[in-house]
């Protein structure tokens, strides 16, 4: 057992909040810059480069006793080697110990052929499998030795570090092992031992030591929990600070919600709203009748009918003589919204315009002028709406569609616009409730569950490319019955990668389908004008098959399109596949989504099966979470959401609630974290969240 060093915060010269720049003797500038590329610049960065997983090795087993599936170390003598030059290049070594023989196999490691020869003695460590009746280790780690030792080469639990092309797992493991104490010295504890103990946590320094030099699984879990607590509480503090700020500094327009307004709005909607839609509308009416700015997230599966609910709220703003804006992440979606909303409002006096980056200068100037004067009631657009020359006379409500699709920068611009304005953000990327609670901790959440009446869940099937001719046959027959088809490909043009492209699929389809079936491409490199035309013609039924990239992922609404074929489906994320699938199943016609994939890895199979089995986006999201872990799901830099080292703890509701409670207590007593005992927390919170969306406008 390892002894934990005593916990002490050095009284003098407290280390800097982010740690010290790495300056170990022997660390070359080249290595340093390779580390920097991974974001490892300081001692604390290195500590935070945590093992991705741990391997429990069975040591020194005689080869004949090894079973497939075990992590093992073996030692012995190479008796034979073989280099298979055909792709994928494979190098094999037959290893013998006193009990028997096993095979070591590497792919694309021609270099080993010079290193490993008959009579070479070595240690190998890896996962055992079987190949042609023999035990085999694939891609094992090896060490050449002078003689076979009695002592096994490894012991117990081995951390496995994430690596890069330049830096191997081994290099990082050695670096951490050699300098662990030096790095740990830069940790300053944030909380007292008593505080931590009450929460079944351990001091930070101890936690890091246990994660890098693990001794048992329960200890690893306790250490992970400790670090999770520290990172999640920072996030909760940032949210609390922002909530506090919003409550004390902003007021919005109070909008009228009487029955006359309600009736006038409903008269414009051509269908009966579902109970779920009405429930959300009640939420919105309640929110909008207050001066506190609404800050609501509307979640609903693809096709659940969020737009019309948003339109209701927007018309409340118009009825009050104010302005409202609908923001969409792509031009295509903005165009679609403009199309359908101006259609619905054609009989009314509401003035609606579309403003995108591609708008003609004169038109653009006109819209900007009318927005400023307040004359224009409702504007639909892309992030062009957020850019500088655009000013609103009296904006009361901002609606953001497919919010998760906006980048970090755009969100920051958005925040800026949001002050003193009611905001409704919508997303169809279904987020399990716990996640919503965490990530949108300062938002109220409404959910539309269920689809409009008469809809059938989309039937999803998996095929391989060998079956494509049958799929084309089926498409053709459906087109003869009057239906339309989407084909989605992962790339636009053929390139160096092995991705199926829109261009290639287009050629393929023209070859397989009769000439009277019209097939057209759709992707972001087409001119806006062209895209517009193609969408119009597809909507009108003149184009039968649209071969597209994921550009159609959000919002496109063509109810007569009932077949979707997704090529190389394994290339897309689960959430994205579900979104894509949401383009069909938009009428009372039967819809079929065909996932084409030749990837027979377990991972690809599991993911695609999740879609075949689950029609509901919420179920798909849960599966996604299970398969990928939470970090991958939402914690990407791109989404603008903070990354967590241990995001899975966000799924533990009691844990999450504890962090939230603890943060609330701190902020209630010291809203700006200026008390001396909160100095460390203040540094950490602002270091992490000042420049991001959370505290940018608060600091």
Q: Of these partners, Mg ion, ligand ADP, none, which one is at the site of residue 300 (CB under 5 to 8 Å by kind)?
A: ligand ADP
Cis peptide before 88 (omega within 30 of 0): yes
Structure tokens, 356: 């995108």
Whether 356 contacts 382, CB under 8 Å: yes
Q: Considering CB distances under 5 to 8 angstroms, the limit depending on partner class, which of ligand ADP, Mg ion, none binds residue 308? A: ligand ADP
Closer to ligand ADP by Cβ: residue 167 or 554: 554
User: Three-state DSSP class for 95?
Assistant: strand
Q: Among 1, 7, 137, 19, which residue's Cα sits nearest to residue 68?
A: 137
Q: Measured from the CB atom, is 203 or 555 closer to Mg ion?
A: 555
Of 133 and 270, CB closest to ligand ADP: 270
- What would the x/- binding string for Mg ion be over residues 543 to 572, using CB under 5 A? ------------x-----------------
Least distance between ligand ADP and beta carbon 91 (Å): 52
Cα distances (Å, whole numbers) of residue 605 to 77, 460, 598, 639: 39, 14, 10, 26
Q: Which does 660 bind (CB under 5 to 8 A by kind): ligand ADP, Mg ion, none?
A: none
Q: How far is the CB of 10 from ligand ADP (least distance, A)?
A: 56
Q: What angle do CA 258, 262, 267 make, to 5 degrees?
A: 150
Chain contacts with ligand ADP (rule: CB under 6 A):
271-274, 277, 300, 302-308, 428, 452, 557, 586
Shortest CB 557 distance to ligand ADP, Å: 5
d(CA 189, CA 206): 10
Nearer to Mg ion by Cβ, of 452 and 555: the residue is 555
Least CB distance from residue 306 to Mg ion, whole Å?
A: 5
In the complex, minimum distance from the CB of residue 308 to ligand ADP, in angstroms, rounded to a whole number: 5
Nearest distance in Å: CB 304, ligand ADP: 4
Provide the minimum distance between the beta carbon of 317 and ligand ADP in the complex, in angstroms, as a whole number.
Answer: 18
**Is the Cβ of residue 272 or residue 498 nearer to ligand ADP in the bound state?**
272
Task: Let me know: does 281 contact 273? Beta carbons within 8 Å.
Answer: yes
Question: x/- site string to Mg ion, residues 511 to 550, per CB under 5 A?
Answer: ----------------------------------------
**Among 358, 340, 344, residue whose Cα is nearest residue 539:** 340
Contact between residue 484 and residue 338 where contact means Cβ atoms under 8 Å apart: no
Cβ closest to ligand ADP, residue 546 vs residue 685: 546
Q: Residue 302 and residue 290: Cα distance in Å, rounded? A: 30
Closest by alpha carbon to 128, among 70, 78, 76? Answer: 70
Phi-psi region at 19: left, alpha or beta (left = phi > 0; alpha = psi -120 to 50): left
d(CA 30, CA 296): 49
**Please, which residue, 122 or 325, has the CB nearer to ligand ADP?**
325
Strand order of the β-sheet with 592-596 is 459-463, 592-596, 561-566, 484-488, 545-548, 519-522
- Work out how close the CB of 638 gets to ligand ADP at its nearest, in angstroms, rounded to a whole number: 22
* Residue nearer to Mg ion on the CB measure, 124 or 584: 584
Peptide bond into 200 cis (omega under 30): no
Q: Which does 330 bind (CB under 5 to 8 A by kind): Mg ion, ligand ADP, none?
A: none
Residue with the CB atom nearest Mg ion in the bound state: 555
Instruction: Select the binding partner of residue 603 from ligand ADP, Mg ion, none (C-beta < 5 to 8 A, by kind).
Output: none
Give Cβ neighbours of residue 133 (< 8 Å, ≥ 6 apart): none
Contacting residues toward Mg ion, per CB under 5 A: 555
């Amino acid at each position: 057992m390892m002894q934990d060093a005593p916990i002490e915060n050095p009284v003098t010269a407290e280390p800097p909040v982010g740690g010290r720049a790495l300056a170990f003797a022997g660390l070359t500038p080249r290595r340093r810059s390779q580390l920097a590329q991974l974001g490892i610049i300081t001692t604390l960065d290195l500590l935070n480069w945590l093992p991705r997983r741990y391997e429990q090795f069975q040591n020194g087993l005689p080869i004949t006793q090894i079973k497939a599936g075990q992590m093992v170390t073996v030692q012995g003598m190479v008796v034979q080697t073989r280099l298979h030059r055909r792709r994928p290049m494979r190098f094999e070594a037959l290893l013998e110990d006193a009990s028997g023989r096993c095979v070591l196999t590497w792919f694309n490691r021609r270099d080993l052929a010079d290193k490993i020869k008959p009579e070479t003695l070595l240690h190998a460590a890896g996962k055992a499998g079987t190949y042609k009746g023999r035990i085999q280790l694939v891609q094992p780690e090896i060490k050449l030795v002078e003689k076979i030792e009695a002592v096994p080469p490894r012991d117990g639990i081995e951390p496995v570090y994430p690596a890069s092309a330049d830096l191997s797992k081994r290099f990082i493991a050695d670096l951490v092992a050699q300098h662990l104490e030096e790095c740990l010295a830069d940790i300053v504890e944030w909380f007292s031992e008593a505080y931590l103990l009450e929460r079944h946590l351990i001091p930070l320094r101890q936690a890091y030591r246990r994660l890098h030099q693990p001794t048992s699984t329960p200890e690893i879990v306790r250490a992970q929990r400790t670090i999770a607590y520290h990172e999640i509480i920072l996030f909760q503090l940032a949210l609390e600070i922002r909530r506090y700020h919003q409550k004390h500094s902003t007021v919005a327009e109070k909008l009228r919600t009487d029955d006359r307004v309600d009736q006038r709005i409903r008269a414009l909607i051509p269908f009966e709203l579902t109970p779920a839609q009405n429930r959300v509308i009640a939420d919105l009416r309640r929110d909008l009748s207050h001066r506190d700015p609404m800050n609501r997230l509307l979640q609903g599966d693809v096709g659940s009918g969020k737009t019309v609910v948003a339109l209701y709220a927007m018309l409340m703003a118009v009825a009050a003589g104010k302005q409202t804006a609908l923001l969409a992440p792509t031009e295509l979606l903005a165009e679609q919204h403009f199309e359908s909303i101006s259609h619905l409002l054609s009989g009314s006096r509401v003035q609606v315009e579309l403003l995108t980056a591609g708008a003609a200068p004169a038109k653009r100037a006109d819209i900007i002028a009318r927005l400023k004067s307040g004359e224009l009631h409702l504007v639909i657009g892309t992030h062009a709406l957020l850019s500088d020359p655009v000013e609103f006379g009296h904006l009361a409500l901002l609606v953001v569609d497919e919010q998760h699709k906006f980048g970090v920068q755009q969100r920051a611009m958005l925040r800026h616009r949001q002050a003193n304005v009611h905001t409704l953000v919508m997303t169809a990327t279904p987020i399990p409730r716990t996640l919503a609670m965490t990530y949108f901790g300062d938002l109220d959440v409404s959910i539309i569950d269920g689809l409009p009446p008469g809809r059938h869940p989309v039937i999803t099937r998996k095929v391989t490319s060998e079956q494509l001719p049958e799929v084309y046959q089926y498409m053709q027959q459906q087109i003869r019955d009057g239906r339309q088809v989407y084909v989605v490909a992962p790339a636009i043009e053929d390139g160096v990668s092995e991705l199926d492209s829109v261009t290639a699929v287009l050629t393929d389809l023209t070859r397989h389908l009769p000439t009277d079936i019209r097939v057209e491409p759709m992707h972001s490199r087409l001119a806006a004008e062209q895209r517009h035309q193609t969408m119009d013609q597809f909507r009108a039924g003149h184009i039968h098959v649209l071969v597209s990239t994921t550009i159609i992922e959000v919002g496109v609404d063509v109810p007569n399109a009932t077949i979707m074929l997704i090529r190389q489906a394994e290339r897309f994320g689960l959430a994205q596949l579900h979104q894509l699938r949401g383009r069909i199943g938009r009428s009372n016609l039967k819809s079929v989504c065909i996932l084409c994939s030749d990837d027979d890895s377990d991972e690809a199979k599991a993911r695609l099966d999740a879609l075949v089995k689950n029609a509901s986006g919420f179920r798909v999201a849960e599966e996604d979470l299970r398969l990928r872990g939470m970090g991958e799901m939402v914690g990407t830099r791109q989404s603008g959401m903070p990354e967590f080292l241990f995001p899975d703890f966000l799924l533990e509701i009691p844990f999450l609630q504890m962090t939230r409670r603890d943060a609330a207590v701190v902020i209630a007593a010291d809203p700006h974290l200026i008390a001396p005992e909160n100095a460390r927390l203040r540094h950490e919170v602002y270091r992490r969240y000042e420049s991001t969306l959370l505290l940018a406008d608060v600091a």
